[in-house]
Chain A
Amino acid sequence: MLVAVAILTLLILLFARFLNSASTITTLGTKRIDADSSARPLLDRMGVDFSQMVKRSDVSYFVKTQTNTQVGNDQIAFYSAVTGYYPSPSKQSPVSLVAYRVNSDSTSPSYNKVERMGKGLIWSGASPTYIPILFLAPAGAPTTTIDNIWPAATNSSTSDSDYELVGPHVFRFEYYYLLTMGALSPGPWTSTNTVAIKDVAAIVVAIAAIDPKSKVLVTNSQIATIAGSLSDYTASMGPGQLLAGWQSALDGITGIPRQVISNIRLYERYFYLSPTQ
């Protein structure tokens, strides 16, 4: 009897340990999958939006430039030939205003999460109320800029009903450019009105994501602290250096549980805009 009990106990312990190990392995794997699952659709969505970006010299962009350096989380807004949320069921043009941001409004449920604006635009001349895509006018000092017309698209905290959560576990968003001449750049233009988008071969997006299980272990304030420690892209950085810098910064963070830091995952993707010449 004793032998049987002992063997049973040993078996239980063995199975418990086995189960625990399996659980640990699957939990780690699940966390990684959760982070991947959060990052992948966001990056894929960006891929669709960027590939159909309206690339012209006579339309407005809200992107990083020398005068709009965007410290911390970045924002980008542009016109894209994708469908969006239209104000009217009819007279819908194929163009939408698309914007990405990490919400910085601490009272918003989307705080520290990536949101995407997909504002469907109607055909020009169809309504005095709803604004269509506007080309840059008047000459010299255009007023029909995205920044002027749709301020919510260029602000990280202003609410707009056309924003939706697309990266609930992505808390850091940074981008820079691969220029057609081959150089990486944080934005060579002097202002958002002088963006020569045809000089851009690709937009390089870097994001940091945390899985939901790890996220519950930290406060929003701590998330903001982590995001703040991940530096902006600078002109001196070469390929891969931004993410390497971010990883070093994460490794050096103290005061936040290690298991949280170790489960933050970094991603970078090149979105090519133009074919080669």
Chain B
Amino acid sequence: MKFRFYSSLKQPQNKGAALVLVLAFVVLLSGLVVAYLSQTSTDRRLAKSSFEDTSADLLARSALDIVVGDFKQEIVDGSTSASPPYTPTSNANVVPMRSGNPGTVPNLIRRSVRSDGLVAPAVPSRASAVNSSTDVSVNGRSVSLDRWNTHYLIPKSDTSNDDPAPVTSFIAPDWVIVSRGGPSVQTGIGTGSSALNNAANGNLNYVIGRYAYAVYDEGGLLDVNVAGFPSPTPAPVTYVGRKGVIAFADLTALPTTGSSFVSNTVINRIIGWRNYATVQPTGTFPSFTFTAAATSNFVNYFLDTSRDFRTVATNLSSNRTDQGFITRAELIKLRSDTGAGAATMLQYLGTFSRESNHSTWGNSGTELAGRFPLSRFDLFAITPPNNAAAIQQYFGLNYVPASGPTAEHWRYCGTSGNTLLSAIPSVSGNSQSPDLFPLLKYALPTGTSISEILSIGASLIDQRDQNDDTTWIEFGDPAAPQKAFGVDKNASTEPGAPPPPSTLLVLNRDFRNVGELGYAYKNGSTSLDFRTAGSSDAPLLDLFTYNTATPRSGIVNLNTQNIYVLAAILMGAITTESSSATVPRTAATPAATSIINATTSLPAIGRQDVARLASAVTHSTFTPNEETKETTARALAEVGQTRTWGLMIDVIAQTGRYPPNAASLANFVVEGEKRYWLHVAIDRFTGQIIDQQLEPVYE
């Protein structure tokens, strides 16, 4: 029986049925499990990828916060007080300290660098001895030198093509290693519970990522949203030659390939796109041409004294508007798409600039509410004045028409009433908006007489009014008033009036820039001095303004190290008003070099330093006489500033870890990466961020 049962199981039709069934179930189950595991595995990888992206983004933003925070700390530590206003302790501290710069990259302020040589007040970068370019990660990741220059802010090694490869002297930033405890300099992986690769809870040294960065002086570049004018050059030459706004920077001063410079065709492509509705060029993108009417539209737009240029015009033409460069990437693409010049020109151009239109001289940052608008002198364009009330408000003068032998003149009575004053009020308190004469008293050396101050004011009026008669102002004792005389072509017939100087230039037009105040006289023979280092008249350069908007775009940091930026500003400036002679490129570049040498040895702390910078220019175009010497002040002061740090921070952040077998700091495993260009404007004197723009970089 036992044999039979065993035998029956051995029947072919029954043999293995159970096994087959069980195997079938196992196969089914295995298939189900494998499919599920496959799906979950894929999902897990996708979720991890998404997580790493987000982590890298957060790390990059944190890195930017740290870098910006370091700059803010540098401002505080480099100032005379720990609270605003942050007055620099020395001229050297008005600019951010430079580090890791080989000297051949004028735009580079600093990079994350090992053994950072930055000293107080600057904060070192915390970078470790791992280079982002040469020290390749365990999984083969590195940041090439080309990638570090995709913004083209570093001079290219080969100017004949679009390859972003930087000059060989540029060294890529080192990594700042970030552990659970934050960023700090690391010297090795370490061992045991405090090792960088030990993920045990409580190990603050466990590394979660790293970042590297480079900071560029975007505030020292020409903001291409404002800079540049079309060709044919707006006529007459005085439109451009009198400067006053950065739009009249001559971009043909910018070198491109070999001995070539940016062409007018290239500039027209940019302007035609940028100011399409305002200027209304003919032709289609990118081949625009400009008529005289178009260039006139251009001039009228940019000479608007209240425009801040942070937004584009609200003009509409053929259902199209003007354009603005939204990002640096857009500028790079426009140049590439239109063939607008060589890529090397991009190292002179920025897309983001902001500045508080406020003085820095002395305590004026807090004591004054703002700069004195030059346009107020337009109230004197004709006499009798159209707006006597405004003249009294802004100048403290009352008009007296001609009567008998006495010519028309002004009485100094202050901002109210009609009683002659024998003294000029002093500026006291904060955020004051003084009228002209207290402002002049505030700016000029203590002890300057009321007569001299009123004479300067009268001379400024003579420069602006449209007649040739010398302006004079009564002041002092009403019973025996004194007289202060300006300087104009026709001497005053009043007793005691000085004769006009033998060589006299009177503008008889509106002021275009603050440097033109230098045409005015402070007595019968001496003009205001904006050409000598240490000039007591220089503070006026900082206290007056043509453009009144604040904050505003398109103002260049006077301490820029970029020669050709200053050369573009100087090129085309009128050196001699009577002949409309202008500064050629061959003079602008050496003049710019002289200025940069001067600011390198002693940074400019305010616009008043422009007089010192003018004295540093020794090229023959600038030196024949006082007027030519002050060309630098006329071209530079109005479009220059020192109080804002305009930075572009290029940061690359990588999340990841050190594996258990990591032997050196280079053995990092990269899991996620994010890159940003942060454009930020920090007010050096208040520590506030005026504005910022975060530009994600996708490569």
Contacts and interface: CB of A to CB of B under 8 A. Distances in A.
A8 interface: yes
Contact of B46 (A40, A91, A125, A272): A40
A12 B696 CA distance: 59
A11 B18 contact: yes
B61 A138 contact: no
Contact of B273 (A51, A95, A124): A124
Interface in B175-221: none
Nearest to A198: B691
B334 A33 contact: no
Q: What 7 pairs across the A-B complex have the smallest Cβ distances?
A: A125-B285, A58-B311, A126-B285, A139-B314, A15-B25, A26-B36, A137-B316
B36 A136 contact: no
Given A23-B32, A139-B314, A81 B330 contact: yes
A214 interface: no
A136 B324 CA distance: 12
A58 B312 contact: yes
A22 B319 CA distance: 63
Contacts of A89: none
Given A8-B18, A95-B330, A144-B316, A124 B32 contact: no
B33 interface: yes
Interface string A52-64: 1011111000000
A272 to B, nearest CB: 7
Given A18-B29, A19-B29, A135-B324, A4 B284 contact: no
Interface string A65-105: 00000000000000101000000000111110000000000
B36 A91 contact: no
Contacts of B43: 33, 36-37
Contacts of B693: 55
A11 B22 contact: yes
A251 interface: no
Nearest to B680: A275
B696 A51 contact: yes
B33 A135 contact: no
A57 B50 CA distance: 31
A87 to B, nearest CB: 14
Contacts of B272: 125
A221 interface: no
B694 interface: yes
B316 A12 contact: no
Nearest to B332: A94
A93 B138 CA distance: 38
Contacts of A276: 65
Given A33-B39, A95-B330, A134 B315 contact: no
Contacts of A263: none
Contact of A275 (B5, B17, B315, B678): B678
A51 B329 CA distance: 14
Contact of A135 (B61, B319, B322): B322
A133 B22 contact: no
Given A19-B25, A143-B316, A81 B327 contact: yes
A132 interface: yes
Contacts of B338: 123
Interface string A126-157: 11100111111111001110000000000000
Nearest to B46: A40
Among B25, B286, B321, find the residue whose CB has the most chain A CB atoms closer than 10 A: B321
Q: How big is the B interface, by class?
A: 35 or more
Interface of B: 5, 8-9, 17-18, 21-22, 25, 28-29, 32-33, 35-36, 39-40, 43, 46-47, 50, 53-54, 57, 61, 64-65, 68, 272-273, 276-277, 284-286, 288, 310-316, 318-324, 326-327, 329-330, 333-334, 337-338, 678, 689, 692-694, 696, 698
B21 A8 contact: yes
Contacts of A58: 311-312, 314, 324
A44 B53 contact: yes
A91 B285 contact: yes
Contacts of A16: 25
Contact of B326 (A30, A44, A51, A56): A56
B323 A133 contact: yes
A19 B28 contact: yes
Contacts of A54: 326
A274 interface: yes
A56 B693 CA distance: 10
B285 A274 contact: no
7 contacts: A19-B25, A30-B39, A44-B53, A94-B329, A135-B321, A137-B277, A143-B316
Contacts of A57: 310-311
A137 B276 CA distance: 13
Contacts of A181: none
A163 to B, nearest CB: 23
A133 B273 CA distance: 12
Interface in A163-184: none
A79 to B, nearest CB: 8
Contacts of B318: 128
Contacts of A81: 326-327, 329-330
